[in-house]
Amino acid sequence: MPRSVETAEVEGKKVLVRADLNVPLENGEVADDTRIRAAIPTLQLLLDRGATAVSVCSHLGRPKSEEDRAKYALAPVERRLRELLGDDRLSVLENTRFNAGETKNDPDFARELADGNDLYVNDAFGSAHRAHSSTEAVAHILPAYAGLLLLDELEHLGRLLGEVERPFVLVAGGAKVEDKLAVLEHLGGRADRVLIGGKMAEEVRDHNPLSYPVELPSDVVAASSFAEDAEAEVAAVDSIPEGWLGLDIGPETAERYGAIVEKAKTIFWNGPMGVFEWSRFAAGTKAVAEAVARADAYSVVGGGDSVRAIQELGLADRVSWVSTGGGASLELLEGKELPGVAAIPEA
């Protein structure tokens, strides 16, 4: 484990904090402040322990051109952060990706960020899989420490990689199996059951790229087209009408998956079972989310869409850990070293 901010000598120091404040915006306002709230404990700790200045930096989106600057400015994020934590010693730097050096892990940009600061704290778990100036290079310039969220994420996700209580059930959904192949192989290979839903179930049915057998849907909610109001009916997987698409797992599958999940002692869930943004195709995802919540298990939900589902259903507090990382949580569970973590001296 990287050394904790709790062990740092903070009194009278100026601290640069890298947080992951890459949040969704809607009409120029923060649409979901989960990541901002998750960054508060570390900032509060630094202020409580007498830091004279705390400068927070983060990327937002993937700005490409000059015109993207208005769209990806951190101002709305800063407004929300100040509502949650009003302290004059706190400041928010501009989107790190406005500097072309950031994504190249440019040491000159890292020196610019470090300039005037005494310490660096990385709390950006969601960006820890990126070797960028603000997550990696800067950790070699200032004395570096891990923030509380980063440590919490490593501990909670890391538990899945150690000895787990069984049955250990992994539920994977979403669109592309390629994106999840590594985690399915690494973590799924250690699970007792692997349940596949979402669009990737079709791919796996045609050809299972994994080295072990998985559970697949037996029925789907089939739709005449990819549209919210498309004609739809429940169909067995071998009798989906010609040209129709499966937009959710069917009720029989939802019940079977729910029963398996409910009896699990350890659960990792990544990716929705269907197009849950459309209520007619949300039942499968909802059934899985409810089973995860009901299970008397150590349960972890990671990855943007399943996290959104569990939050929208109001079930987040019945899950052991809801990760703030998408790609970062998958890479960690693939067994990869995260550059943002590796750059911090060990405890």
What CA–CA distance (Å, rounded) separates 85 from 134?
Answer: 22
Residue 20 binding result from Mg ion, ligand 3PG, none, given CB thresholds of 5 to 8 Å by partner type: ligand 3PG
State yes or no: is 327 an active-site residue: yes
Q: Which of 101, 304, 325, 326 is catalytic?
A: 304
Q: Which of 62, 71, 176, 205 is catalytic?
A: 176
Q: Which amino acid is at 290?
A: E
State yes or no: is 176 an active-site residue: yes
What CA–CA distance (Å, rounded) separates 197 from 217?
Answer: 7
Q: Which of 104, 111, 265, 327 is catalytic?
A: 327
- CB of residue 302 to ligand 3PG, shortest distance in Å: 11
Under rule CB under 5 A, residue 61 binds Mg ion: no
Query: Which residue minimizes CB distance to ligand 3PG?
Result: 22
- CB of residue 22 to ligand 3PG, shortest distance in Å: 3
Interface residues toward ligand 3PG, by CB under 6 A: 20, 22, 62, 126-127, 130, 326-327
Q: Maximum Cα–Cα distance for the chain, whole Å?
A: 69
Q: In this complex, which beta carbon is closest to ligand 3PG, that of residue 134 or of residue 266?
A: 134
Positions 323 through 342 that interact with Mg ion (CB under 5 A): 326-327
What CA–CA distance (Å, rounded) separates 176 from 3?
Answer: 36
Q: In this complex, which beta carbon is closest to ligand 3PG, that of residue 22 or of residue 266?
A: 22
Q: In this complex, which beta carbon is closest to Mg ion, that of residue 131 or of residue 240?
A: 131
- CB of residue 5 to ligand 3PG, shortest distance in Å: 20
Query: Which residue minimizes CB distance to Mg ion?
Result: 327
Q: In this complex, which beta carbon is closest to ligand 3PG, that of residue 149 or of residue 297?
A: 149
Q: In this complex, which beta carbon is closest to Mg ion, that of residue 107 or of residue 327?
A: 327
* 121 and 42 Cβ atoms separated by less than 8 Å: yes
Q: Among candidates 8, 4, 46, which has minimal Cα distance to 150? A: 4
State yes or no: is 193 an active-site residue: no
- CB of residue 31 to ligand 3PG, shortest distance in Å: 13
State yes or no: is 116 an active-site residue: no
- CB of residue 230 to Mg ion, shortest distance in Å: 29
# chain residues binding Mg ion, by CB under 5 A: 2
- CB of residue 97 to ligand 3PG, shortest distance in Å: 8
Q: Which residues are catalytic?
A: 35, 176, 304, 327
Contacting positions for Mg ion (CB under 5 A): 326-327
